[in-house]
Structure 1
């Protein structure tokens, strides 16, 4: 298989993010602990920025205000792919953007819709991404590969693994 170009790697990340949808975003507390919480990426075409709705007084928003470097991790076991995106997060109070990103499902977390007091956006600008994509391997072949690796002491072929600058 030919080596992928950086643009092809970026396109792979874009497709994997689109399929995964739910992620864990990791921030840092003032005392240096990492904290992760589940978040839903808003339904926009991934162009290097990930968008999330949050409450302005949440720990997430406070933490990115002091330590903007975050990690966003996706696990899509249905498609056998995993993505880890490192980037810089910022709170963005942009009513027009919020309106563009809003979907009715968000009312479960923000009951008054776009009028919910304290509603804000968090934008994560991706700097690097690493992904693992084993979608083209069947589960049986993957398990056989792991068993073979255990027997031979070699690392299993876990599919495509790339790191890309966004």
Structure 2
């Protein structure tokens, strides 16, 4: 993940973090009211920190999202965590599916771009919460080891950004 400035994280840094992760955990609310998370693969992250995903239309997750579109995306790397809140909507846009399609998607949609179970999900970000140890992954790892040896509390900071 990107190193965030000591005095706060910017939207550009949030977008950089989001673009740097191959997988994300999407938390949503089940029919019974329980929070559940599912691994997702971002297909595109735009400058506003909005994200496009492919989704299986007949799965439990899609049903949950149709009923309760408020979700949270969680990104994690050694010493840094990013939580992005927003809402999702299902989009019927063949041109966007064509634009986003890649070989990795074939593993989930064996019939390709024309798979009737292939859905397009658009996440619209609202706010982000970042927690991190300054200095990037290598420094975070060194700080964690040092703090474990010395018994000191990890130095880091937290910041919230409206998107």
TM-score under structure 2 length normalisation: 0.84
Aligned to 1:162: 159
Q: 1:142 maps to what in 2?
A: 144
Output the CA distance in 1 between the equivalents of 2:67 and 2:119.
Answer: 17
Residue aligning to 1:35: 36
CA-CA distance at 1:105 after TM superposition: 1.3
Gaps of 5+ in 2: none
Provide the residue aligned with 1:114 in structure 2: 113
Measure, in 1, the Cα distance between the counterparts of 2:149 and 2:159: 24
CA distance in 2, matches of 1:146, 1:127: 36
Map 1:89-104 to 2 at 5 A: 89-104=88-103
**Stretches of structure 1 lacking an aligned partner (at least 5 in a row):** none
Runs of 4+ in structure 1 deviating by more than 4 angstroms, as ranges, are none
Q: How many residues align?
A: 156
Superimposed CA distance per residue, residues 122-147 of structure 1 (whole angstroms, 9 cap, x where no aligned partner): 11111111112336125223322355
TM-score, normalised via structure 1 length: 0.83
1:54 counterpart residue number: 55
